[in-house]
Amino acid sequence: MKAKINRRTFLKTTLGAILASGLPAFSLPHALGKPKKAVREFRFSASPAKVNLGVGPDFVAWTYNGQVPGPEIRVREGDIIRVILKNYLPEDTTIHWHGVPVPNAMDGVPEVTQKAVMPGKTFVYEFEARPAGSYIYHSHVNYQLDQGLYGALIIEPSHSRDLHDREYTLLLEDWVMMDGGGVANTQRRPPMGMRRGMMRRQRSSGPGRTPLLEPVYDGYAINGRVYPEMNPLGVGKGDRVKLRILNASSATIYDLRLAGHALTITHVDGNPIQPVETDVLRIGMGERYDVEFVANNPGTWLLGARERGFGEGMLRIPIEYKEVRRKEPVPPIFHRGLRFATYWDFQALHPLDKSVSVPADRFYPQTLSGGMHSPFWTINGQVYPDAEHLAVREGERARIGYWNHSMMPHPMHFHGHFFKVVNPSLPYERWILKDTVIVDPMQHVEIEFLADNPGKWFHHCHNLYHMEAGMANVVAYQAD
Ligand code: C2O
Ligand code: CU
């Protein structure tokens, strides 16, 4: 008994020292006895800082703790995540836990779930890490996502059933390498029909602002490094390698391929699926894929993106076998006839729900438009914040149908919930769970969600420049 008290005192003192040092502190629940759940505490300072991506100039990005991307948060399912955010930026900020069904007050959407954190102020985010999966955290204010304010959030399963030998997190980023990051005085695609004079960009915020056009990116980075100035991913012959691929880019969808290997997709947006083998993996903004490959082809290879004419082909990272003497890595070639997995090839791995045959309680048609003769992007012709709420009641099953009437793909993201992607050729319980779904130009996609997390939930295109130009609305319901 006495020994135990001493040990406790010792641990508390140690913990106090860790806290005082300003490093991330981890409480020691077993040793300390009382709390069942481990509290994992992180201190995040949002501040401008000089960064370098390995290629290109030093520039001032907006960062968490002075680094891009921000520190990886890695916890176990069931842990309590506590992030103490201090704002050293010249404007308001927040953090959104992209994909995690957090309680509404922790969701980090200014004017919807909280008052934005003003310069000099502190805000504490705290929520349970659940369910296991690969997530992204990022600012949800203005264009801060494109200025560097994002990072990886990995929730490991509480009982590890992982069979792989190595695991890497790959956070994909699109950069404009100049002070202020993506908020640059350049543009990528002028909306058709817009006259030159109208395209002058204005930096402004608040209702009635003129939205910015997508910038021309000049740095496609993985974990803050542009190829070739990066460390290769080391593998050993015979290893089963897991990659958590997270697209934190503001406006870039990638088609990825690993030269010399097939990829097996195991999780979509953190949710397990029946494994699907593919040559090419398409990943939109806000999407996450866990993939595996078997290192059975010794050499030095590149995992890289297909070039579409905007520089995406610069996004690359070498995979290097330990046994092999380093040589020029082999790039992926995108030729016809490659396997290219789509949502419609995926099935949920462990269907939890029973089959439902009755139609959903609600149906919301959402027409996605924009890009023509207007700087705005709209849902049903509306420009957020001048957009109607989608009302549901707690416990209802709601379906949203997207009709993309534009020539751009829109990765539609819904906060606070996972949704099923409707797949008429599969039974309901096999539909995959996601939180972000790409709706391609002129295509139609439907999703369904269960209203089981009351609050006001942002729902929007995850192209940051479309979101800021109005392509968003709010799903709202109260606890019954
Ligand atoms: Cu990744 Cu509304 O967020
Ligand atoms: Cu969009």
Is the model's pLDDT at 191 over the cut of 90?
no
- Residue keyed to tokens 């004079």: 197
Q: Which of 311, 334, 467, 475 is nearest to 399 (CA)?
A: 475
**CA-atom Rg of the chain in angstroms:** 22
Q: Hey, what are 62's tokens? A: 């907006």
417, 435 in Cβ contact below 8 A? yes
**For the CA of 287, the nearest ligand:** 1
Neighbours of 275 (CB within 10 A): 13
pLDDT, averaged across the chain? 89
Q: Give burial (CB, 10 Å; 0-12/13-18/19+) of 28.
A: middle
Say yes or no to pLDDT of 211 above 90: no
Read off the pLDDT band of 159 (50, 70, 90).
confident
- Please give the number of the atom of ligand 1 that sits closest to the Cα of 98: 1
In this structure, which residue's CA is closest to atom 3 in ligand 1?
98
Mean pLDDT along residues 224-249: 97
pLDDT tens-digit map of 416-468 = 999 999 999 999 999 999 999 999 999 999 999 999 999 999 999 999 999 99
Tokens of 394: 């707690």
Whole-number percent of the chain with pLDDT over 70:
86
Q: Which residues contact 441 (CB under 8 A, 6 or more apart)?
A: 404, 406, 407, 408, 409
Calculate mean pLDDT across residues 245-265. 98
CB 158 within 8 A of CB 78: yes
Q: Is the CB of 420 under 6 A from ligand 1?
A: no
pLDDT (average), residues 23-43: 64
Give the tens place of pLDDT for each residue, 70-97.
Answer: 999 999 999 999 999 999 999 999 999 9
CA of 125 to the centre of ligand 1 (A): 16
Q: What are the distances in angstroms from CA 362 to CA 1, 93, 442, 447? A: 59, 34, 24, 12
Burial class (CB in 10 A: 0-12, 13-18, 19+), 123: buried
| pLDDT higher than 60, residue 125 | yes
286-303 per-position pLDDT tens digit: 999 999 999 999 999 999
Q: Which residues contact 207 (CB under 8 A, 6 or more apart)?
A: 385, 386
CA triplet 394, 397, 399: central angle to 5 degrees?
125
Please give the distance, rounded to the nearest whole angstrom, from the Cα atom of residue 130 to the centre of ligand 1: 17
**Cβ pair 200, 194 in contact under 8 A:** no
Angle at 209 between CA 110 and CA 206, to 5 degrees: 25
pLDDT of 212 strictly over 90 = no
Higher-confidence residue: 389 or 192? 389
For ligand 2, the distance from its centroid to the CA atom of residue 191, given in whole angstroms, is 13
What pLDDT score does 210 carry?
79
Q: Residue 244 in contact with residue 154, Cβ under 8 Å? A: yes
Question: Separation of 195 CA from ligand 2 center, angstroms?
Answer: 22
Nearest-angstrom CA–CA distance, 33 and 11: 11
pLDDT value for 345? 98
The CB of 413 under 6 Å from ligand 1? The reply is yes
Ligand 1 pocket member 399 (CB < 6 A)? no
What span, in angstroms and rounded, lies between the C-alpha atoms of 114 and 106?
8
- One-letter amino acid at 62 equals W
pLDDT band at residue 108 under the 50/70/90 scheme = very high
Q: Mark residue 269 as left, alpha or beta (left: phi above 0; alpha: psi -120 to 50; beta: remaining).
A: left
User: Does the C-beta of 449 come closer than 6 Å to ligand 1?
Assistant: no
Q: Alpha-carbon distance 222 to 83, whole Å?
A: 24
Q: How far is the CA of 406 from the centre of ligand 2 (A)?
A: 9
**In contact, 332 and 257? CB cutoff 8 Å:** yes
Cα angle: 117, vertex 123, 124; to 5 degrees: 155
Whether residue 18 is predicted with pLDDT greater than 50 in this model: the reply is no
Q: Which residues does 124 contact at the CB level (< 8 Å), separation at least 6? A: 82, 83, 84, 85
**Which ligand gives the minimal distance to the CA of 408?**
2
pLDDT tens-digit profile of 265-286?
A: 999 999 999 999 999 999 999 9
Whether ligand 1 lies within 6 angstroms of the CB of 288 is answered as no
Strand partners for 192: 372
Ligand 1, atom nearest to 436 Cα: 1
Which ligand is nearest to the Cα of residue 414, counting in written order? 1
288-294: strand order across its sheet: 219-222, 166-175, 240-247, 288-294, 263-268, 271-278
| Angstrom distance (rounded) from CA 298 to CA 320 | 8
Q: Which of 167, 170, 185, 149 is nearest to 227 (CA)?
A: 170
Residue 150 contacts residue 136 (beta carbons within 8 Å): yes
- Report pLDDT for 228: 97
Compute the distance from residue 218 Cα to the ligand 1 centre, in Å: 23
